[in-house]
Structure 1
Amino acid sequence: MMTFAELGLDAKLVQATDALGYKNPTPIQEKAIPVLISGTKDLVGLAQTGTGKTAAFGLPLLHLIDEGQKFPQALVVCPTRELCLQIVNEMELFKKFQTGMHVVAVYGGTSIGQQIRDLKRGVQIVVATPGRLIDLIERKAINLEQIKYVVLDEADEMLNMGFKDDIEFILQNTPNRQSTWLFSATMPPEIRRISKKYLKDPMEITVGKTNTANKNIDHQYFVTSAQHRYQTLKRLIDFNPGIYGIIFTRTKADAQDIAEKLTREGYDIDALHGDLTQQQRDKVMGEFRDKTLQLLIATDVAARGIDVAGITHVINYELPDDVEVYTHRSGRTGRAGNTGVCMSIIHIREMGKMRHIQGIVQVPFHKMDIPGGKDVCRKQFFHFMEKLLQTDISHGDYESYVPMLEEKFADVSKEEVLKRVAAMEFDRFLKYYENAEDLNIYEQRRERFERGAGMDRRGGDRERMPGRDTRGRQFGSSAGGNGGGGDYARLFVNLGTKDGFYKASFLQFILDLSDLRKEVLGRIDMKEMNSWIEIDKRAAKQMIAAIDGKNYKGRRIRMNDADSRR
Structure 2
Amino acid sequence: MNPFSQLGLRHDIVNALTEIGFEKPTQIQEQAIPVLLSGSSDFVGLAQTGTGKTAAFGLPLLELLDFSENSPQALILCPTRELCLQIANDLKNFSRNINDVNIVAVYGGASISDQLRQIRRGVQIVVATPGRMLDIIGRKAIDFSGVRYVVLDEADEMLNMGFQEDINDILSTTPDEKKTWLFSATMPAEVRRIAKNYMTDPHELTVGTKNTGNSNIEHHYYVVRPRDKFAAFKRIVDINPDIFGIVFCRTKIETQEIAEALIKDGYNADALHGDLSQQQRDKVMKRYRDRSLQLLIATDVAARGIDVNDVTHVINFSLPDEIENYTHRSGRTARAGKKGISIALVTPKEAGKIRHIERVIGKEFIKSTIPTGIEVCEKQLFSIIDKVKSVEVNEEQINQFLPKIEEAFQDFSKEDVIKHLASLEFNRFLNYYNGAQDLNSNESEGRGRDRDRSDRGDRGSRGDRYGREGGAQAGFSRIFVNLGSVDNFDRGSMLGFICDNAQISGKVVGKIDIKGVFSFFEVESDMAEKVFNNFKDVDFKGRQVRLEPAGDREGGSGDRGGRSREGRRGGRERASEHQGGFRDFSGKRRERRSEKKRW
Q: TM-score range by the shorter chain?
A: 0.7 to 0.9
SS in 1 for 2:335: coil
Question: How far did 1:548 drift?
Answer: 3.5
Question: CA contact under 8 A between 1:79 and 1:154: conserved in structure 2?
Answer: yes
Partner of 1:258: 258
Distance change in 2, residues 1:395/1:116 (3 Å): farther
Runs (5+) with no aligned partner, structure 1: 456-491, 501-528, 530-544, 559-566
- Once residues 277 and 27 of structure 1 are traced to their aligned partners in structure 2, the CA distance between those partners, rounded to angstroms, is 37
Partner of 2:158: 158
Question: CA contact under 8 A between 1:37 and 1:60: conserved in structure 2?
Answer: yes
Q: Kindly provide the amino acid, as one letter, of the partner of residue 280 in structure 2.
A: Q
Question: How far did 1:21 drift?
Answer: 3.4
SS in 2 for 1:261: helix
Query: Deviation digits for residues 450-496 of structure 1, max 9, x if unmatched?
Result: 365799xxxxxxxxxxxxxxxxxxxxxxxxxxxxxxxxxxxx99x99
More helix by share: 2
Question: How far did 1:395 drift?
Answer: 7.0
Distance change in 2, residues 1:16/1:395 (3 Å): farther
- Once residues 51 and 288 of structure 1 are traced to their aligned partners in structure 2, the CA distance between those partners, rounded to angstroms, is 21
Structure 2 residue 103 is matched with structure 1 residue 103: yes
Q: Kindly provide the amino acid, as one letter, of the partner of residue 309 in structure 1.
A: N
Q: Aligned-residue CA RMSD in angstroms?
A: 2.6
SS in 2 for 1:439: coil
Structure 2 residue 116 is matched with structure 1 residue 119: no
Partner of 2:24: 24
Q: Kindly provide the amino acid, as one letter, of the partner of residue 209 in structure 2.
A: K
Partner of 1:311: 311
Partner of 1:556: 563
- Once residues 274 and 418 of structure 1 are traced to their aligned partners in structure 2, the CA distance between those partners, rounded to angstroms, is 47
Structure 2 residue 456 is matched with structure 1 residue 449: no
SS in 2 for 1:450: coil
Size of the aligned set, in residue pairs, is 472
Q: Kindly provide the amino acid, as one letter, of the partner of residue 34 in structure 2.
A: P
Partner of 1:369: 369
- Once residues 150 and 386 of structure 2 are traced to their aligned partners in structure 1, the CA distance between those partners, rounded to angstroms, is 51
Distance change in 2, residues 1:253/1:17 (3 Å): same
Runs (5+) with no aligned partner, structure 2: 463-515, 517-554, 566-599
- Once residues 556 and 185 of structure 2 are traced to their aligned partners in structure 1, the CA distance between those partners, rounded to angstroms, is 41
- Once residues 17 and 276 of structure 1 are traced to their aligned partners in structure 2, the CA distance between those partners, rounded to angstroms, is 34
- Once residues 101 and 444 of structure 2 are traced to their aligned partners in structure 1, the CA distance between those partners, rounded to angstroms, is 66
Question: How far did 1:448 drift?
Answer: 5.0
Question: CA contact under 8 A between 1:150 and 1:177: conserved in structure 2?
Answer: no
Query: Deviation digits for residues 141-192 of structure 1, max 9, x if unmatched?
Result: 1110100000000111111111111111111111255210000001111111
Distance change in 2, residues 1:454/1:303 (3 Å): closer
- Once residues 23 and 83 of structure 2 are traced to their aligned partners in structure 1, the CA distance between those partners, rounded to angstroms, is 24
- Once residues 240 and 557 of structure 1 are traced to their aligned partners in structure 2, the CA distance between those partners, rounded to angstroms, is 40
Distance change in 2, residues 1:557/1:73 (3 Å): farther
Q: Kindly provide the amino acid, as one letter, of the partner of residue 382 in structure 2.
A: F
Q: Kindly provide the amino acid, as one letter, of the partner of residue 373 in structure 1.
A: G
Partner of 1:228: 228
Partner of 1:339: 339
Deviates more, 1:211-220 or 1:116-125: 116-125
Q: Kindly provide the amino acid, as one letter, of the partner of residue 449 in structure 1.
A: G
Question: How far did 1:546 drift?
Answer: 9.7
Query: Deviation digits for residues 90-118 of structure 1, max 9, x if unmatched?
Result: 11111121122221211111111111111
- Once residues 41 and 60 of structure 1 are traced to their aligned partners in structure 2, the CA distance between those partners, rounded to angstroms, is 13
SS in 1 for 2:311: coil
Distance change in 2, residues 1:151/1:453 (3 Å): same
Question: CA contact under 8 A between 1:103 and 1:123: conserved in structure 2?
Answer: yes
- Once residues 11 and 50 of structure 1 are traced to their aligned partners in structure 2, the CA distance between those partners, rounded to angstroms, is 25
Distance change in 2, residues 1:284/1:22 (3 Å): closer
Q: Kindly provide the amino acid, as one letter, of the partner of residue 246 in structure 2.
A: I
Distance change in 2, residues 1:451/1:254 (3 Å): closer
Question: CA contact under 8 A between 2:220 and 2:366: conserved in structure 1?
Answer: yes
Question: How far did 1:15 drift?
Answer: 2.4
Deviates more, 1:182-191 or 1:297-306: 297-306
- Once residues 454 and 158 of structure 1 are traced to their aligned partners in structure 2, the CA distance between those partners, rounded to angstroms, is 38
SS in 1 for 2:366: strand
Query: Deviation digits for residues 525-557 of structure 1, max 9, x if unmatched?
Result: xxxx9xxxxxxxxxxxxxxx9994553xxx638
- Once residues 79 and 383 of structure 1 are traced to their aligned partners in structure 2, the CA distance between those partners, rounded to angstroms, is 40
SS in 2 for 1:449: coil
Partner of 1:210: 210
For 1:522-561, list aligned pairs within 5 A. Answer: 548-549=558-559, 551=561, 556=563
For 1:288-327, list aligned pairs within 5 A. Answer: 288-327=288-327
For 1:67-146, list aligned pairs within 5 A. Answer: 67-146=67-146
Distance change in 2, residues 1:101/1:414 (3 Å): same
SS in 2 for 1:181: strand
Question: How far did 1:376 drift?
Answer: 0.3
Distance change in 2, residues 1:436/1:180 (3 Å): same
Q: Kindly provide the amino acid, as one letter, of the partner of residue 50 in structure 2.
A: G
Distance change in 2, residues 1:315/1:548 (3 Å): farther
SS in 2 for 1:256: helix
SS in 2 for 1:399: helix
Partner of 1:433: 433
Percent identical pairs in the alignment equals 53
- Once residues 150 and 81 of structure 1 are traced to their aligned partners in structure 2, the CA distance between those partners, rounded to angstroms, is 18
Q: Kindly provide the amino acid, as one letter, of the partner of residue 39 in structure 2.
A: G
Distance change in 2, residues 1:454/1:403 (3 Å): closer
Partner of 1:269: 269
Question: CA contact under 8 A between 1:7 and 1:30: conserved in structure 2?
Answer: yes
Q: Kindly provide the amino acid, as one letter, of the partner of residue 256 in structure 1.
A: Q
SS in 2 for 1:336: helix
Question: How far did 1:368 drift?
Answer: 0.8
SS in 1 for 2:180: strand
Deviates more, 1:16-25 or 1:245-254: 16-25
Question: How far did 1:3 drift?
Answer: 2.5
Q: Kindly provide the amino acid, as one letter, of the partner of residue 111 in structure 1.
A: S
Q: Kindly provide the amino acid, as one letter, of the partner of residue 399 in structure 2.
A: E
Distance change in 2, residues 1:74/1:546 (3 Å): farther
SS in 1 for 2:168: helix
The TM-score normalised by the length of structure 2 is 0.75
Partner of 1:9: 9
Question: How far did 1:11 drift?
Answer: 2.6
Question: How far did 1:65 drift?
Answer: 0.5
